[in-house]
Amino acid sequence: MKSANVLEKVLVTGGAGFLGSHLCERLLKTGADVLCVDNFFTGSKANIAHLIGKPTFELMRHDVTFPLYVEVDKIFNLACPASPVHYQYDPVQTAKTSVNGAINMLGLAKRLKARILQASTSEIYGDPEMHPQTEGYWGRVNPVGIRSCYDEGKRCAETLFFDYWRQHNLNIKVIRIFNTYGPRMHPDDGRVVSNFIVQALRGVDITLYGDGEQTRSFCYVDDLIEGMMAMMQSRDEITGPINMGNPTEFTMRELAELTLKLTGSKSKLSFLPLPSDDPRRRKPDITVAREQLGWSPKVSLEDGLKETVRYFRHTLDL
């Protein structure tokens, strides 16, 4: 046990990214001493600029594919490009970040006897035949497709986490993150929420793929961060994997129409062919998160989109 006057030291890899920056902010509010590590491939100093200078926040430029030697009590491993545009730009590096990054962070956690949380993904399930997806579903994933660098990299990372747990009795936590959105998303990351908002604000056609009837479930970033905090603080025997996302399902057409309503845009809908290996349906079963963590999302899609639209209006000056 740490004494009351000693701050808990927490490492966040990928800490300058969309989710990582929100997590760093949330950890600082709990009184933690936060070490934010990022190589700035997709992360941005702008995301954590308001945290620099705080006495309990430290920023380090580092690539997790190389070993890291620091002293911390807990590790949140978020480092990895998470949008198809970014992870397909350098697929070999993406796979290395997931696999070598996991090996390096698990090795660090083993040396320090630290608790470590892996930010895994709903892409574990691929283009699922089970709907909604439960943690017991093994997935339907293409191992040689254009998305495989990310999908299979994250699957291998989960394997490593559970092997370290079985072989070395490491204190692990694994969450599978479904579509999450909110302020600090990258405007050109190719994700559907940022795409639709930016296109609507710029007055260009909103791009839908296929017939626009494929579905996703959208979780606001504040809800997701609370889930991550709850998982890290949970009992040792709760290892996961645990789904984290919003189980309310929307079609892409519904999302586009709501975006047009909230932005007041006159943009039209434009339909293009469906990309390779793009899942038709994606919806989490969050029964385990509710039962084991007492967690479920609170923010509605409309309320979350309002905040996200406000952020992009300010950021893009539109």
The confidence score (pLDDT) of residue 281 equals 81
Let me know: does 15 contact 43? Beta carbons within 8 Å: yes
Phi, psi of 44 (to 5 degrees): -140, 135
The confidence score (pLDDT) of residue 84 equals 75
Mean per-residue pLDDT for 270-291? 87
Which amino acid is residue 40, in one-letter code? F
Spell out the domains of the chain, with CATH numbers in brackets. 9-181+219-247+284-298 (3.40.50.720)
Strand spans (E) along the chain: 9-13, 33-38, 57-61, 74-77, 115-121, 172-177, 180-181, 206-209, 215-217, 219-220, 242-244, 249-251, 269-272
Q: Which of the residue ranges 54-58, 110-114, 124-128 would you say has the lowest mean pLDDT?
A: 124-128
The confidence score (pLDDT) of residue 137 equals 95
pLDDT tier, 82 (very low <50, low <70, confident <90, very high otherwise): confident
pLDDT tier, 174 (very low <50, low <70, confident <90, very high otherwise): very high
Neighbours of 236 (CB within 10 A): 10
- Structural tokens at position 209: 């793929």
- Taking the C-alpha atoms of residue 118 and residue 150, their distance in angstroms, rounded to an integer, is 14
Let me know: does 77 contact 114? Beta carbons within 8 Å: no
CA 129 from chain centre, in angstroms, equals 23
- pLDDT for residue 267 is more than 80: yes
The confidence score (pLDDT) of residue 175 equals 98
Let me know: does 277 contact 147? Beta carbons within 8 Å: yes
Q: Give the DSSP H or E segment for 210.
A: none
- Structural tokens at position 315: 């950021």
For helices 301-316 and 192-202, angle between their N-to-C axes, nearest 10 degrees: 60
89 is catalytic: no
Q: Which of the residue ranges 45-54, 113-122, 238-247, 278-287 would you say has the lowest mean pLDDT?
A: 278-287
The confidence score (pLDDT) of residue 87 equals 79
Query: Three-class SS of residue 80?
Result: coil
pLDDT tier, 189 (very low <50, low <70, confident <90, very high otherwise): confident
Strand spans (E) along 56-152: 57-61, 74-77, 115-121
Q: Give the DSSP H or E segment for 143.
A: none
| 221-241 confidence digits (pLDDT tens) | 999 999 999 999 999 999 999
- Taking the C-alpha atoms of residue 148 and residue 240, their distance in angstroms, rounded to an integer, is 23
Burial class (CB in 10 A: 0-12, 13-18, 19+), 210: middle
Q: Is the pTM of this model over 0.85?
A: yes
The confidence score (pLDDT) of residue 317 equals 80
Q: What percent of the chain has pLDDT over 90?
A: 82
The confidence score (pLDDT) of residue 190 equals 83
User: Which residue in the block uniquely carries the two structure tokens 């204190």?
Assistant: 171
pLDDT tier, 290 (very low <50, low <70, confident <90, very high otherwise): very high
Q: What percent of the chain has pLDDT over 70?
A: 97
| 48-79 confidence digits (pLDDT tens) | 999 999 999 999 999 999 999 999 999 999 99
- Taking the C-alpha atoms of residue 276 and residue 267, their distance in angstroms, rounded to an integer, is 26
Q: Are strands 219-220 and 9-13 parallel, antiparallel or unpaired?
A: unpaired
- Taking the C-alpha atoms of residue 69 and residue 72, their distance in angstroms, rounded to an integer, is 10
Of 125, 150, 164, 220, the active-site residue reads 150
